[in-house]
């Protein structure tokens, strides 16, 4: 099957290109890119067996890569399976996802890696890469047979969720992994500083009487791991950095030339600890009344993005007050942080301190969340809302669309030491088409993921994936998207968004 994706706004972060044009896809590869001046003529004979997809008003970009996904299979198939998780990924625009090792059994033996890869090949809708465990049973004591795990297909190592507390074990892991050329992905959490935690330590935790997770519990271990990376020369990747102090540590380390990379989640970029207040935030004088959606508000005096303003009819932009207080969907590790942390994370993403946006997709069953706040499982089912959430940064004028796309494509590829995903002719046709302006209301009942745990339930987002193609095969298509070729007009709503650079 051949596809011609017409009239899209093509963003190719690897080439820093953003143009309006057409893309011809054949045999699973990008064959040709026509830009605005030389669009594929409507009447030119394109031959048989071709589908023309109308992408007018939409962005066409390389498929996204998620460095941090929990697929739960094997062991907790009631929360997620590789089939459902990869479908959720496709719906979110991801064509490659990296599966974290905290399954049961965990990714600590080659046999498990091979089994997971086999299921992924058979049932997966997108490409699944495997992250191996650093230590046997993720117990933090004995290193796994890392070389054999890499041979079996592991692309990185992590004990995510059960961070290695013994610094000597961490040092050895980094040193050993440096031989294999793969990163150690560190979930940085000093568990002696946040015993019994339920949420970020701050004004909100004080008010709600919930045990706090101080920013320092993350930062002390980021500092430790950076020192160890400097000592060993190994590649350290910091998972889901969530604090201003953490961003500063990574920034300084990069300036010194330490091999450290970092990721941030969509929820830490957009939600704060106030979300735990839920409707109680209505009594918080510091939260202003809901504002209508504006896109010209621009705190840092960057270029305005006026063109994205049109009748959305949205009551408010991301409003925590529609949640009940102490809603367990807001419980996540690391926790939703304060306003100043959120600002620092955006700044870190903008200045390159943070390399990638990763979802930390953590699906849970209803019973894991339908309980007391402090006893609820940590995690947000994030694959299907990731794009809509990070686009709020674009609509608010905090970041430009090309930059955001790069953090979902080129950034994660670089962390994995891969050639950046591109739409250059000859590249594998991993493509996402999304409408950055499309308003929608999050309804977790429609998630492909088994995990319906999202604090965004009922929120209005702007920007939605319309079509995802993995290796030239359409793995997700929203309704009849792109089939009505006759209505094409030569116009784009994207001028404003694309002007950020």
Half-sphere exposure of 476 (CA within 13 A, CB side): 29
Reference 246, options 219, 266, 227; nearest CA is: 219
Q: Which H or E element spans position 334?
A: none
Among the candidate windows 138-146, 202-210, 391-399, 400-408, which touches other proteins by CB under 8 A? 202-210
Among the candidate windows 82-90, 99-107, 161-169, 318-326, which touches other proteins by CB under 8 A? 318-326
Determine if 283 is a binding residue for other proteins (CB under 8 A).
Answer: yes
Q: Taken in order 367, 369, 370, 375, is the CA torsion positive or negative? A: positive
Q: How far is the CB of 203 from other proteins (least distance, A)?
A: 5
Is 205 or 453 the residue whose CB approaches other proteins more closely?
A: 205
Reference 73, options 98, 101, 37; nearest CA is: 101
Determine if 374 is a binding residue for other proteins (CB under 8 A).
Answer: yes
CA angle centred on 277, ends 197 and 200, rounded to 5°: 30
Determine if 454 is a binding residue for other proteins (CB under 8 A).
Answer: no
Ramachandran region, residue 139 (left: φ > 0; alpha: ψ -120 to 50; beta: rest): alpha
Determine if 203 is a binding residue for other proteins (CB under 8 A).
Answer: yes
What is the distance between the alpha carbons of residues 486 and 293, in angstroms, rounded to a whole number?
Answer: 32
Question: How are beta strands 64-69 and 94-99 bridged, if at all?
Answer: parallel
Determine if 180 is a binding residue for other proteins (CB under 8 A).
Answer: no
Using CB under 8 A, which of 324, 352, 417, 458 touches other proteins? Answer: 324
Using CB under 8 A, which of 22, 159, 201, 437 touches other proteins? Answer: 201
Using CB under 8 A, which of 373, 428, 493, 499 touches other proteins? Answer: 373
Determine if 458 is a binding residue for other proteins (CB under 8 A).
Answer: no
Determine if 485 is a binding residue for other proteins (CB under 8 A).
Answer: no
Among the candidate windows 108-116, 185-193, 233-241, 365-373, which touches other proteins by CB under 8 A? 365-373
CA angle centred on 60, ends 56 and 65, rounded to 5°: 155
Reference 58, options 484, 463, 473, 469; nearest CA is: 463
Among the candidate windows 54-62, 368-376, 452-460, 484-492, which touches other proteins by CB under 8 A? 368-376
Determine if 447 is a binding residue for other proteins (CB under 8 A).
Answer: no
Determine if 17 is a binding residue for other proteins (CB under 8 A).
Answer: no
What is the distance between the alpha carbons of residues 245 and 217, in angstroms, rounded to a whole number?
Answer: 11
Using CB under 8 A, which of 209, 313, 426, 479 touches other proteins? Answer: 209
Among the candidate windows 49-57, 97-105, 231-239, 371-379, which touches other proteins by CB under 8 A? 371-379
Q: How far is the CB of 79 from other proteins (least distance, A)?
A: 17
Q: What are phi and psi of 385, to 5 degrees?
A: -115, 0
What is the distance between the alpha carbons of residues 216 and 403, in angstroms, rounded to a whole number?
Answer: 29
Q: What is the DSSP letter of 296?
A: -
Query: Could you say which of 66, 160, 319, 360 is catalytic?
Result: 360
* Catalytic site includes residue 360: yes
What is the distance between the alpha carbons of residues 395 and 306, in angstroms, rounded to a whole number?
Answer: 9
Determine if 322 is a binding residue for other proteins (CB under 8 A).
Answer: no
Catalytic residues: 360
Interacting residues with other proteins (CB under 8 A):
198, 201-203, 205-212, 280, 283, 324-326, 367, 370-375
């Amino acid at each position: 099957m051949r596809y011609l994706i017409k009239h899209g706004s093509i963003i190719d972060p690897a080439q820093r290109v953003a143009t309006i044009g057409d893309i011809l896809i054949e045999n699973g590869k990008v064959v040709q890119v026509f830009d605005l001046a030389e669009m594929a003529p409507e009447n030119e004979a394109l031959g048989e067996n071709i589908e023309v997809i109308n992408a007018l008003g939409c962005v066409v970009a390389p498929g996204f890569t998620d460095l941090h996904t929990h697929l739960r299979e094997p062991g907790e198939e009631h929360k997620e399976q590789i089939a459902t998780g990869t479908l959720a990924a496709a719906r979110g625009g991801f064509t490659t996802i990296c599966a974290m090792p905290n399954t049961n059994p965990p990714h600590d033996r080659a046999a498990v890696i091979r089994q997971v890869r086999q299921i992924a090949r058979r049932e997966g809708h997108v490409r699944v890469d495997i992250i191996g465990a650093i230590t046997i049973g993720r117990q933090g004591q004995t290193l796994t047979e890392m070389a054999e795990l890499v041979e079996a297909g592991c692309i990185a190592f992590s004990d995510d969720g059960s961070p290695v507390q013994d610094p000597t074990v961490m040092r050895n892991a980094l040193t050993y992994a440096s031989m294999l050329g793969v990163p150690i992905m560190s979930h940085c959490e000093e568990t002696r500083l946040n015993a019994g935690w339920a949420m970020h330590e701050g004004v909100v935790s004080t008010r709600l009487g919930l045990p706090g997770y101080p920013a320092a519990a993350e930062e002390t271990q980021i500092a430790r791991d950076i020192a160890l990376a400097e000592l060993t020369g190994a590649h350290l990747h910091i998972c889901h950095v969530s604090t201003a102090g953490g961003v500063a540590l990574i920034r300084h380390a990069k300036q010194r030339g330490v091999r450290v990379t970092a990721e941030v989640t969509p929820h830490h970029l957009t939600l704060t600890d106030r979300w735990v207040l839920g409707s109680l935030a209505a009594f918080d004088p510091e939260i202003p009344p809901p504002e209508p959606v504006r896109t010209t508000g621009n705190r840092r005096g960057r270029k305005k993005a006026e063109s994205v303003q049109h009748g959305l009819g949205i009551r408010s932009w991301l409003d925590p007050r529609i949640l009940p207080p102490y809603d367990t969907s807001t419980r996540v590790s690391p926790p939703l942080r304060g306003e100043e942390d959120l600002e620092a994370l955006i700044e870190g993403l903008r200045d390159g301190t943070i390399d990638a946006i990763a979802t930390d997709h953590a699906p849970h069953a209803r019973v894991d969340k339908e309980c007391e706040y402090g006893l609820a499982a940590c995690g947000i089912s994030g694959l299907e809302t990731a794009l809509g959430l990070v686009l709020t940064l674009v609509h608010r004028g905090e970041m430009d669309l090309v930059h955001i796309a790069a953090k979902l494509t080129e950034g994660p590829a670089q962390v994995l030491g891969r050639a950046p995903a591109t739409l250059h002719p000859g590249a594998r046709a991993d493509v996402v088409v999304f409408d950055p302006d499309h308003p929608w209301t999050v309804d977790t009942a429609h998630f492909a993921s088994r995990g319906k745990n999202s604090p965004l339930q009922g929120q209005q987002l702007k920007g939605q994936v319309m079509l995802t193609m993995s290796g030239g095969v359409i793995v997700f298509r929203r309704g009849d998207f792109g089939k009505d070729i006759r209505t094409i007009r030569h116009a784009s709503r994207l001028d404003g968004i694309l002007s950020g650079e």
